[in-house]
Amino acid sequence: MRDHWVLYSSIKFNMSNIQATSIAICVTTCFRPEGLRRLLESLAAQQFVKNIQPDLRIVIVDNDAAGSARRVCEDFRARNSIALEYEIEGRRGIPIARNHAVDMAKKYPVDFIAILDDDEVADRHWLDELMAAQMEFGADVLTGPVVPYFMGATDRWLQRFFERANLANGQDLRHNYNYVYTSNLLAKAAIFRDLRFDERFALSGAEDTHLFMQLFEKGYRAVWAENALVTEWLPESRTNPQWLWKRAYRRGNSFAICELVQNGSLKTRVKRIAKGSFRFVQGLVGTLVSLGRKSQFVQGVQGLCLGAGMISGSLGFEYQEYKQIHGA
């Protein structure tokens, strides 16, 4: 009986000394108060089945100098027990606001930093799944699927262009740049002692690709967490062929510029121009043979725009997609 009591006391002592993982969830917002409200509500509803509930802190950086998100944050604080920090960053730019948010998070002894966008809603097991995948694969950084929610009427054939293929759980992302983004991310906080978002990409939206290039260069490991689901709310202004073509152009443009920032050699520039030219011709051929088929035509022009973006980026021209804010 005494042995059982000693064992019980030991287990109780050990459990009492287990510290919850500390996580700061960083969100930058700009002119999207309703989107931010939806996101915060989804964070308040997080459930933990696979992990002990972490010590959570939400960090909001408002990229509107007038502070249009302040009231949403004050309402959230009044109704929830989760700690929420709110500050304004008057200088416009996604990487500028993200650096501000990460700097706020680093003031606290957090183990991990998570990042989401203000036009997203997190599944109720989102953070639990990221934590579980981090434990299973021992990764430094994790990203997961972002699926679309169409806010307006969108034809089924067009919806297919917004569907994102999923990777295997735990798949390494070093050679999968289509899946490296910071709109659904969990990273060890220590990483941000070495790295920051490059503020040269203030309005181009390439800061996430460049961050991962730096991560891989320094030997950090990033993997896919297939069950950590986030839904992106897409307004009608972003669910049309014209936007798809602009996004394809921006992807090619920003990737080329990121490569040049990492290695500005003539060899890098010529190699990317050659790849861009191939994509351009491939897209042009696809467009010409589409024979009136809408889906094939849109896909062909996408390839053409992707190639054109690669070429222009290799020549030093930067496309600034985020001069315009979509959604509310």
More confident residue, 25 or 251: 25
Whole-number Å distance between alpha carbons of 38 and 24: 18
Q: In the prediction, which pLDDT does 323 show? A: 61
Residue ranges of domains in the chain, CATH in brackets = 13-238 (3.90.550.10), 241-323 (no CATH)
Tell me the percentage of the chain whose pLDDT exceeds 70: 92
Do residues 325 and 31 make contact, with C-beta atoms less than 8 angstroms apart? yes
Q: In the prediction, which pLDDT does 179 show? A: 83
**How much of the chain is in helix, strand and coil states, percent to nearest 5?**
50, 15, 35
Residue 68 clears pLDDT 70, i.e. is over it: yes
Report CA torsion sign: 178, 179, 185, 188: negative
pLDDT tens-digit profile of 17-46? 456 899 999 999 999 999 999 999 999 999
Q: In the prediction, which pLDDT does 194 show? A: 84
Report residue 49's pLDDT band, with 50, 70 and 90 as the boundaries: very high
Whole-number Å distance between alpha carbons of 238 and 223: 28
Which residue, chain included where needed, has tokens 């490059």?
Answer: 198
pLDDT tens-digit profile of 77-131? 999 999 999 999 999 999 999 999 999 999 999 999 999 999 999 999 999 999 9
pLDDT tens-digit profile of 188-242? 999 998 899 999 888 777 888 899 999 999 999 999 999 999 999 999 999 999 9
Whole-number Å distance between alpha carbons of 52 and 68: 35
Long-range contacts of 11-18 (CB under 8 A, 24+ apart): 18/52
* Paired tokens of 148: 């679309």
AA identity, residue 225: A
Q: Tell me the average pLDDT across 293-313.
A: 95
Tell me, yes or no, if the pTM score tops 0.85: yes
How many Å from the N-terminal Cα to the C-terminal Cα in the chain?
64
Q: In the prediction, which pLDDT does 326 show? A: 53
